Amino acid sequence: MTDVANTLERRTLSIAGAEIELFEGGQGAPLLFLHSGQGVTAGDPFLALLAKERRVIAPSHPGFGKSSLPDWADSVDDMAHIYLELMDRLDHGKVDLVGCSIGGWIAAEIATKVPERIKRLVMIGPVGVKIGTPDKLDIPDVFAMPQEKFAKLIFHDPDKFRPDLKTMPEEAIAAMVRNRETLALIAWEPYMHNPKLKHRLHRVTVPALFVRGESDGLVSAQYLQGYAGLLPDARTETIAKAGHSPQLEQPQVLLTKVLAFLNA
């Protein structure tokens, strides 16, 4: 693997009262990458691979990483609007849009607002809609479960991703806490979805790829199928030996599938 620290460069942009941290790198067609609840860093292994083929633009969502959170922002819709302005500002024209988990939800909101600005859409373990019945949460309640149970639900192999909280740098642990706080702010109620979104997704006529890890305990196969079915031109893929974050557990396999779709 190349020196990832050199692959992506960090800068900051002021948008609508928010200071947005942005990681950029690589050459090729522009790709806007929207991270999961775990956040994004300059050393992200999946982005390093992706940047070999594409111009990758990966912001930290407001309230995540080092991006500030304006007082007025408290919803996924707010984040989508901030990114609309980011897209205006960067002026890349049409972009490929890739979102993971909560980033998938933001991507879906953006795509319903400006479908003409999107080339292709990739949703990796996405949340954002309500598919099942009212008497069961579609996504297990990540704010009300023991850490160990959470790790088992999101990873195929949790042992490889167990952070050592005693030795983790102060800054990293604070970022982790803050990411989770912002996730709760925007996804608490309605839990992990916007009831209106499913009635808007028909506008997203561009080709879309919905991906989940086979061991994902948060986004079920049924949920992914139901979600993809709301878009006129969407297909689904499953990644073996991966959980909620195939970009962490199977970056190479995911890259192959994503590029095959984007280049089709």
User: Which residues does 147 contact at the CB level (< 8 Å), separation at least 6?
Assistant: none
Interaction with other proteins in 54-113: which residues (CB under 8 A)? 71, 74
Residues 120 and 143: beta-carbon distance below 8 Å: no
* Euclidean distance between CA atoms 229 and 96, whole angstroms: 20
Residue 51 CB neighbour total at 10 angstroms: 24
Q: Which helix (H) or strand (E) holds 96?
A: strand 95-100
Candidates 184, 221, 240, 260: give the one binding other proteins (CB under 8 A).
184
Phi, psi of 160 (to 5 degrees): -80, -15
Residues 47 and 21: beta-carbon distance below 8 Å: no
Candidates 91, 133, 134, 144: give the one binding other proteins (CB under 8 A).
144
Encoded tokens for 75: 């919803």
* Euclidean distance between CA atoms 10 and 59, whole angstroms: 9
Candidates 16, 90, 137, 173: give the one binding other proteins (CB under 8 A).
173
Distance of CA 162 to the CA centre of its chain: 21
Stretch that binds other proteins, among 17-25, 53-61, 125-133, 171-179 (CB under 8 A): 171-179
3-state SS, residue 121:
strand
* Euclidean distance between CA atoms 151 and 162, whole angstroms: 8
Using the minimum distance from each CB to other proteins, give the nearer residue, 115 or 140: 140
Using the minimum distance from each CB to other proteins, give the nearer residue, 160 or 166: 166
Using the minimum distance from each CB to other proteins, give the nearer residue, 89 or 188: 188
> Residues in contact with other proteins, total (CB under 8 A)?
23
Stretch that binds other proteins, among 47-55, 78-86, 173-181, 253-261 (CB under 8 A): 173-181
Stretch that binds other proteins, among 52-60, 118-126, 168-176, 239-247 (CB under 8 A): 168-176
Using the minimum distance from each CB to other proteins, give the nearer residue, 184 or 221: 184
Stretch that binds other proteins, among 25-33, 92-100, 103-111, 169-177 (CB under 8 A): 169-177
Stretch that binds other proteins, among 105-113, 151-159, 180-188, 236-244 (CB under 8 A): 180-188
188 binds other proteins (CB under 8 A): yes
Q: Which helix (H) or strand (E) holds 149?
A: helix 147-154
Binding site for other proteins (CB under 8 A): 71, 74, 143-147, 165-166, 170, 173-174, 176-178, 180-185, 188-189
